[in-house]
């Protein structure tokens, strides 16, 4: 059946300016890290993308290695894009990244000019696009000069293969150097994508202040701490969870009895706000005006709909914030 987007899709979503740029992003963006590979159901992926766009989510975030297998998420996204969103490309923000291992040999990883240019060309081919809106360097490379990596980001913008560039997983001192190089080259950094959640707050030690000072946007990934900040682990480790299978980024030893007690307390606070734990965790990030958008994942339309409910209440009283901090400061090891 031919897809016709919801004509009221822009009425309920909040759009935030990305740093000091002219670009606005939806408060929630959809990441295709999981559930969009060849091992997943294409019909479910299509349903989630349609639902997201109907709800005003205009930003879809990918990377060269998302799958499995690597590249599969871009291939599937490209197929759905062609079949369902053909006339809506100019309403979409599509991003991809390169920086982790994508193919064998010395040119398929990290941050060399050879790798980044080749990877972006492959990504564009998989998605059937002439350009992406944002191209990220996915992680710092300890061996390639930062000047080479940043000059390559500048190059792909000048070639018309990307409109904006960003970085991901860069610590404050690394980010500051990258921003200075890009500014000197004439292609300012648009956005930084760090891992940030209630349970992982390293970005508060200088990075958020730096982004504000530099006029760079921030889009946290893993805002639910790989599922820990949902109702999934409130009673322990389910047999079908990532922690039980020990794959992905969530290991069993991260789900201690102390951590479970902690998220149970957070859940009680969320219930008092009329939210689920996941909704409160997303709202907690969005309370900060320096956050341009929060990158969510989803395995179903129902999960996506639940995340969107977080937008109904992103305000926290001083007392609530003190309670959250007190809970999070409890010993968890």
Q: Can you give the pLDDT at residue 252?
A: 60
Q: Can you give the pLDDT at residue 255?
A: 86
The closest of 284, 279, 265 to 230, measured between CA atoms, is: 279
When pLDDT is averaged across residues 72-94 and rounded to a whole number, the result is 98
Question: What whole-number distance in Å separates Cα of residue 316 and Cα of residue 284?
Answer: 8
Q: Are 320 and 327 in contact (CB under 8 A)?
A: no
pLDDT band, residue 331 (cuts 50/70/90): low
333 located within any domain: no
For the stretch 12-39, what's the b/e string if a residue is b when 16 or more beta carbons lie within 10 angstroms of its beta carbon? Answer: eeebbebbebebbbbbbbbbbbbbbbee
Q: Model-level pTM?
A: 0.94
pLDDT of 118 over the 90 cut:
yes
106 located within any domain: yes
- Tens-place pLDDT, residues 236-252: 776 565 555 555 555 56
87 located within any domain: yes
Q: Can you give the pLDDT at residue 332?
A: 54
171 located within any domain: yes
Q: Which DSSP symbol is given to 200? A: B
132 located within any domain: yes
The domain containing residue 34 runs over which residues?
15-228+286-313
Number of domains composing the chain: 1
pLDDT of 178 over the 60 cut:
yes
The closest of 207, 197, 205, 192 to 282, measured between CA atoms, is: 197
Question: The domain that contains 160 carries what CATH number?
Answer: 3.20.20.100
Task: Spell out the residues 6+ positions from residue 158 whose beta carbon is closer than 8 angstroms to its own.
Answer: 187
235 located within any domain: no
- Tens-place pLDDT, residues 187-205: 999 999 999 999 999 999 9
Question: In the predicted model, what is the mean pLDDT of the chain?
Answer: 95
246 located within any domain: no
Strands 59-61 and 191-193, bridge-based pairing: unpaired
201 located within any domain: yes
Q: Can you give the pLDDT at residue 235?
A: 85
When pLDDT is averaged across residues 85-112 and rounded to a whole number, the result is 98
Question: What whole-number distance in Å separates Cα of residue 298 and Cα of residue 36?
Answer: 10
């Amino acid at each position: 059946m031919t897809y016709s987007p919801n004509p009221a899709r822009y009425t309920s979503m909040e759009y935030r300016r990305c740093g000091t740029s002219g670009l606005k992003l939806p408060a929630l963006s959809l990441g295709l890290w999981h559930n969009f590979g060849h091992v997943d159901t294409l019909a479910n992926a299509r349903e989630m993308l349609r639902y997201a766009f109907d709800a005003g989510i205009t930003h879809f975030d990918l990377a060269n290695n998302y799958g499995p297998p690597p590249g599969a998420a871009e291939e599937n996204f490209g197929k759905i894009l062609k079949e369902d969103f053909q006339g809506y490309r100019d309403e979409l923000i599509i991003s991809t990244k390169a920086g982790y291992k994508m193919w064998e040999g010395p040119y398929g990883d990290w941050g060399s000019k050879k790798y980044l240019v080749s990877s972006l060309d492959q990504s564009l081919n998989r998605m059937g696009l002439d350009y992406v809106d944002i191209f990220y360097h996915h992680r710092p490379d300890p061996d390639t000069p930062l000047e080479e990596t940043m000059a390559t980001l500048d190059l792909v913008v000048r070639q018309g293969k990307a409109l904006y560039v960003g970085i991901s997983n860069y610590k404050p001192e690394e980010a500051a150097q990258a921003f200075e190089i890009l500014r000197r080259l004439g292609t300012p950094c648009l956005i930084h994508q760090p891992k940030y959640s209630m349970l992982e707050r390293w970005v508060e030690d200088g990075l958020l202040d730096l982004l504000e000072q530099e006029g760079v946007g921030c889009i946290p990934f893993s805002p639910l701490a790989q599922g820990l900040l949902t109702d999934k682990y409130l009673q322990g480790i389910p047999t079908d969870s990532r922690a039980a299978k020990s794959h992905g980024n969530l290991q069993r030893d991260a789900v201690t009895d102390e951590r479970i007690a902690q998220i149970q307390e957070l859940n009680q606070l969320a219930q008092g706000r009329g939210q689920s734990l996941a909704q409160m965790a997303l709202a907690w990030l969005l309370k900060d005006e320096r956050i341009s958008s929060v990158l969510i994942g989803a395995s179903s339309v129902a999960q996506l709909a639940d995340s969107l409910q977080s937008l109904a209440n992103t305000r926290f009283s001083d007392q609530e914030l003190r309670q959250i901090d007190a809970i999070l400061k409890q010993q968890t090891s």
